[in-house]
Amino acid sequence: MFFLVRKSVLGSSDEFQDLDFDVNELTIGSNESNAVVLDELADGNLTIKVLNETDAKFTCTGSLFVSINDKKGKSGKIRKGHVYQLGVYDIEVISSPTGFDFALNISRSKRKSTIKNKNYEIKTSKKLFSIRTLSYITFIAIILFFLVIPFMGSQNKDIQTKLTQLPIPSDNSWSSGPLAMAHRIPEIGDKCNICHVKPFEKVQDEQCLTCHRNLDDHIANNHPAVEELSQFLCENCHKEHNEPLQLTRTDDKLCVDCHKKIKDFVGESPDSNQAVQNVTGFNSDNHPPFRLSLIEPYVENGNYEWLQKRPAFDPNNPSKENSNLKFTHEVHLDDDKVQNDDTGEALVCKDCHQLKDDGEHFEPITMDKDCRSCHKLTFDVFNPDLELQHGNLRTATVMLQAHYIREFTDPNLRAKRAKKKIRRIPGKHFNEATCQGTGLDCGRQEAFKEAEFQFTKSGCITCHEVAERDTSDILSKWFVKPIKINNDWYAKATYDHVSHLSVKGQNEEQICLSCHNVEQSNHSEDIAMPQRNKCLECHQQDAKNSVELSCIRCHAFHFEDNDAEN
């Protein structure tokens, strides 16, 4: 069977190449093994078997197919006069020249390719790392690992234990800041729910009191606003997880929120002098003058009692102390009159006023500790070593009586006394050396005289207020009024003496006197406590070069007043 294949070389009919084949079946394909090689064909080949002069049968293999008028076929018939498409080629069955059984004209198709080359298509496939997928993954991961799992852990101990063993965040990752040092204890550790018991609820006092069982009341029971204040949680003032660590609120707002309009909380006071004043800070405009805490003696049912008072500050009518003590700072600080026993120098403040460990208050002044070295309680010039007992009137009087009765009833003592030559001492009662009468009478008589001298001229009366009754009974004629020296002049405030005892260019004595001006004080009733203005010299709020004070630097939080001590 002879085939003629006419191939157009330039894609037009101008130039062509005639190829002839003597085969039973003509094969066309891109592979070199085919009779007709067309480079641009896809895999497979086309086999043509001649049926007659005008018709032939074709079969396609691989991905090849023959099409005509958009009809595709893998096998079928081709007929003379028709043009068929095979890939990018047109195959036309033409009239067979003499000597040939079948003839084909193969040319590159003139048709514009409707199938575009896909080399230049940018494929956008949905992949794992698309924006949307990544967004979902990160969103879910954060919600899961930082909210859901830690929350499950906070509600279930087993899960929590497992979480601490795995590198997965627990509810510890919710901490907004480090725990205060005092709370970093094994009992708490990393266990948030020791304190945070119920979700979405503030830490309750119950949790604090689990450990702080022996805590003193923060609010005095007699505080006028106790009801309002008791509604506060510990958490309101003690803030955890703060940076920098600050467990207790120390800001003025803590106090000023209520004290700026204190009547709203404590109501109107019946006594305007006793009314609590509004406070909004510390300067002469927004802090009231200091109000002294005084103690006043009063007698109730025959007993001497002391009443604490806080009179309003009145610059025209300064308060007076009423301690029943007679004392003058002026004399005691005059080195011509009084000297230190050991040094012979003038007395200094701390010879009598010794600071307690709290740095605020002073050890109580006592006769034995502070006065007796100068003020000996001798009474009988014939027995200058004997001293009266101090502090108990009856014991002292009985002792006085017993001493003189013994002196005059014992013949040996009486004789010895009569022989003694004693010089008179000015200002001192000169006791009798001898007496005409019984020992008992003489003793009583002398005891009465000495007692009268002690209680009315010099001795007890020097420092004490003494009341006298119209009676001849030595035991009930005189009454020494008890003494109570105020030890807390500002009971509502605290103060640190120690930190104030360092002032450039001043010694301790000068520093004391700069606030407590007692050098000119000639009466024990003088009160030498500094007023507000003295503190404002250094602590004026909003002033330049001032050491500002917050409220609680001077005022403790609603504690009971400090008791005035003896």
Note the residues at the interface with another protein (CB under 8 A).
Answer: 8-11, 15, 39-40, 88, 108, 112-113, 116-117, 119-125, 129-131, 134-143, 146-147, 150-151, 154, 169, 171-178, 192, 196, 199-203, 239, 242-244, 246, 249, 251-254
Taking the CA atoms of 177, 240, 494 and 358 in sequence, report the sign of the dihedral they define: negative
Report the residue number, 113 or 502, with the smaller CB distance to another protein.
113
Report the residue number, 252 or 446, with the smaller CB distance to another protein.
252
Residue indicated by tokens 């605290």? 494
Report the residue number, 115 or 299, with the smaller CB distance to another protein.
115
Report the residue number, 150 or 459, with the smaller CB distance to another protein.
150
Q: SS3 helix, strand, coil % of the chain, rounded to 5?
A: 30, 15, 55
SS3 119: helix
Helices 393-409 & 411-419 angle (0-180, nearest 10): 90
Report the residue number, 87 or 482, with the smaller CB distance to another protein.
87
**Torsion over CA of 493, 497, 503 and 506, rounded to 10 degrees?**
120
**Longest Cα separation, the chain:** 197
Nearest Cα residue to 552 out of 210, 246, 134, 101:
246
Nearest-approach distance from CB 171 to another protein, in angstroms: 7
Nearest-approach distance from CB 37 to another protein, in angstroms: 8
Residue indicated by tokens 């006065």? 371
Number of residues assigned to the chain: 566
Nearest-approach distance from CB 551 to another protein, in angstroms: 12
Taking the CA atoms of 181, 182, 185 and 187 in sequence, report the sign of the dihedral they define: negative
Nearest-approach distance from CB 93 to another protein, in angstroms: 21
Given a contact cutoff of 8 angstroms between Cβ atoms, the answer to whether 478 and 286 are in contact is no
Nearest Cα residue to 105 out of 88, 92, 89:
92
**Cβ count within 10 A of residue 140:** 11
Nearest Cα residue to 78 out of 97, 65, 63:
65
Nearest-approach distance from CB 227 to another protein, in angstroms: 22
Rounded Cα gap, residues 311 and 318, in angstroms: 10
Could you give the count of Cα atoms lying within 13 Å of 413 in the half-sphere of its Cβ?
Answer: 12
Nearest-approach distance from CB 131 to another protein, in angstroms: 5
Report the residue number, 119 or 301, with the smaller CB distance to another protein.
119
Nearest-approach distance from CB 483 to another protein, in angstroms: 46
Nearest-approach distance from CB 25 to another protein, in angstroms: 24
Report the residue number, 121 or 216, with the smaller CB distance to another protein.
121
Report the residue number, 127 or 504, with the smaller CB distance to another protein.
127
Cis before 270 (ω within 30): no
Given a contact cutoff of 8 angstroms between Cβ atoms, the answer to whether 156 and 146 are in contact is no
Nearest-approach distance from CB 160 to another protein, in angstroms: 14
For residue 339, the 8-state DSSP code is B
Report the residue number, 178 or 311, with the smaller CB distance to another protein.
178
Cα 48 from chain centroid (whole Å)? 98
